């Protein structure tokens, strides 16, 4: 593969000494959920095989360029990776194993939608080394699943969860959404209680954000449904924090809870502002002070790889001030650890107070952050008003 910017080559080769979090994007879904603005495409099943062939090539190319870097975590995300047949997933994992040193026991996650999967498929995924499955469940209520245009029922989600357990997955995540248009607190409580009863090791609960250019946005604009109520969403969040703490889950990131020891190691890399490499259409990579992304559309991506061209669409070198701000913003998402002064100082040669003393004092005065001389954290109130905190560091 040619035409990669020389600066990127240099950055890659200089940085891959460090173990990398590896992300692979599978940009296909059966159809688009009403709230989704991700880089995904529906009705493209005939592109699955060429897409995986392109992924294999990109991954192998990186392996050759970077001298078989060590992987720290692997995450197959999307989209809906579980739409890919097992034979294509096998090829993908062969390429990953060839290009990276993959230490035994590292976290390997795959996202799946609880629809149409068989026991044999889940056992096959497990046999490939995937040891963490993340299931999009979202709601326990049929009318909410219809509103979200999910491609499964709650009963299917429950059965797939049980099937994944029986297939040997000891680390299961369920993704949930709250703060839906017209959703009462008790409906969200019912969803959380129902899913919690399955015993997932990890729960992600996201407040619905109505993104522009989504079906949900259009329905709200046309006044066919109500806009979500932010005060009610805040109430749901507070209740969730309390309920999951009682149930023994650690609230380790703003929207993520885990049984101790089951925190997502892959996502922690993003929040700790550490390096990752992404493969596939629209995938982002980040090494040291560089961030770049591949072309977004799978057909463009495949075309570039087939022609032996770089799939990189954009590359940016991040100014120091941006890196500092991003490290704080991402670190604040880690509710307990927050941003550690020692790590900030090691990276930038100055402490948090030296850099942001005035901002931190102001935010402390507003009761939004807490500085204990070692780390900076959001207060419980700051967790509710994160955006009011974050922009001040940019
Ligand atoms: S399954 Fe996930 S990625 Fe696919 S359309 Fe729905 S929300 Fe988006």
Region at 71 (left for phi over 0; alpha for psi -120 to 50; beta for the rest): beta
For the chain, give the number of residues. 394
Band (pLDDT 50/70/90 cuts) for residue 67 is confident
- 3-state class of 384 per DSSP? helix
Domain coordinates in residue numbering, the chain: 6-271, 321-393
Q: Does ligand 1 come within 6 angstroms of the Cβ of 38? A: yes
Find, among 75, 150, 61, 142, the residue nearest to 107 by Cα.
75
Average pLDDT over residues 72-80: 97
Q: Which helix or strand (DSSP H or E) is residue 269 part of?
A: helix 265-271
Kindly give the pairing relationship between strand 71-78 and strand 20-26.
parallel
Q: Does ligand 1 come within 6 angstroms of the Cβ of 29? A: yes
Q: What is the pLDDT of residues 153-164, one digit of tens each?
A: 999 999 999 999
Q: Does ligand 1 come within 6 angstroms of the Cβ of 39? A: no
Q: What is the pLDDT of residues 28-55, one digit of tens each?
A: 999 999 999 999 999 999 999 999 999 9
pLDDT of residue 16: 54
pLDDT of residue 13: 59
Average pLDDT over residues 340-348: 97
Fold of 6-271: TIM Barrel (3.20.20)
Q: What is the pLDDT of residues 188-205, one digit of tens each?
A: 999 999 999 999 999 999
Residue 256 has pLDDT above 50, yes or no: yes
Band (pLDDT 50/70/90 cuts) for residue 2 is very low
Q: What is the pLDDT of residues 121-142, one digit of tens each?
A: 999 999 999 999 999 999 999 9
- Residue 384, C-beta contacts closer than 8 angstroms, at least 6 positions apart: 234, 237, 238
Residue 36 C-alpha to ligand 1 middle, in angstroms?
A: 6
Residue 14 has pLDDT above 70, yes or no: no
Tell me the pLDDT of the chain averaged across its residues: 95
Q: Which CATH number fits domain 321-393: 3.20.20.70, 2.60.40.10, 3.40.190.290, 1.10.10.920?
A: 1.10.10.920
Residue 248 C-alpha to ligand 1 middle, in angstroms?
A: 29
pLDDT of residue 6: 45
Residue 72 C-alpha to ligand 1 middle, in angstroms?
A: 26
Find, among 25, 52, 44, the residue nearest to 111 by Cα.
25
Residue 136 C-alpha to ligand 1 middle, in angstroms?
A: 8
pTM for the whole structure: 0.96
Q: Does ligand 1 come within 6 angstroms of the Cβ of 80? A: yes
pLDDT of residue 226: 94
Find, among 213, 322, 206, 317, the residue nearest to 267 by Cα.
206
Q: Does ligand 1 come within 6 angstroms of the Cβ of 34? A: no
The answer to whether the beta carbons of residues 298 and 44 sit under 8 Å apart is yes
pLDDT of residue 66: 87
**Best of 37, 40, 82, 83 for a ligand 1 pocket test (most atoms within 8 Å of beta carbon):** 40
Residue 361 C-alpha to ligand 1 middle, in angstroms?
A: 40
């Amino acid at each position: 593969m040619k035409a990669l910017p020389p600066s990127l080559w240099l950055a890659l080769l200089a940085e891959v000494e460090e173990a990398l979090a590896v992300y692979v994007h599978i940009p296909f879904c059966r159809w688009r959920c009403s709230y989704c603005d991700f880089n995904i495409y529906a009705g493209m099943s005939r592109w699955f095989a060429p897409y995986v062939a392109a992924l294999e090539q990109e991954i192998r190319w990186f392996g050759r360029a970077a001298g078989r870097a060590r992987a720290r975590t692997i995450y197959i995300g999307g989209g809906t990776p579980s739409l890919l047949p097992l034979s294509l997933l096998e090829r993908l994992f062969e390429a990953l194993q060839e290009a990276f040193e993959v230490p035994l026991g590292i976290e390997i996650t795959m996202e799946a939608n609880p629809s149409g999967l068989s026991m044999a498929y889940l056992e096959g995924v497990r046999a490939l080394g995937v040891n963490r499955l993340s299931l999009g469940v979202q709601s326990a209520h049929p009318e909410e699943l219809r509103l979200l245009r999910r491609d499964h029922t709650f009963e299917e989600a429950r059965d797939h969860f049980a099937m994944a357990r029986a297939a040997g997955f000891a680390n299961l995540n369920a993704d949930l959404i709250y703060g839906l248009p017209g959703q009462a607190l008790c409906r969200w409580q019912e969803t959380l209680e129902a899913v919690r009863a399955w015993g997932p090791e990890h729960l992600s609960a996201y407040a619905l954000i109505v993104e522009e250019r989504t079906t949900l946005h259009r329905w709200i604009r046309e006044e066919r449904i109500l806009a979500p109520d932010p005060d009610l969403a805040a109430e749901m969040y507070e209740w969730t924090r309390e309920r999951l703490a009682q149930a023994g889950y650690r609230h380790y990131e703003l929207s993520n809870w885990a049984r101790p020891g089951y925190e997502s190691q892959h996502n922690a890399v993003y929040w700790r502002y550490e390096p990752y490499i992404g493969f596939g259409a629209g995938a982002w990579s980040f090494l040291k002070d560089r961030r770049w992304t591949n072309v977004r559309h799978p057909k463009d991506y495949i075309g570039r790889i087939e022609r032996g061209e770089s799939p990189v669409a954009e590359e940016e070198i991040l100014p120091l001030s941006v890196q500092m701000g991003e490290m704080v913003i991402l670190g604040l998402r880690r509710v307990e650890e927050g941003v550690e002064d020692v790590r900030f100082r090691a990276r930038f040669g100055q402490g948090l107070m030296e850099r942001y003393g005035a901002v931190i004092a102001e935010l402390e005065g507003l009761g939004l952050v807490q500085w204990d001389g070692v780390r900076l954290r959001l207060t419980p109130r700051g967790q509710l008003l994160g955006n009011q905190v974050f922009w001040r560091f940019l």
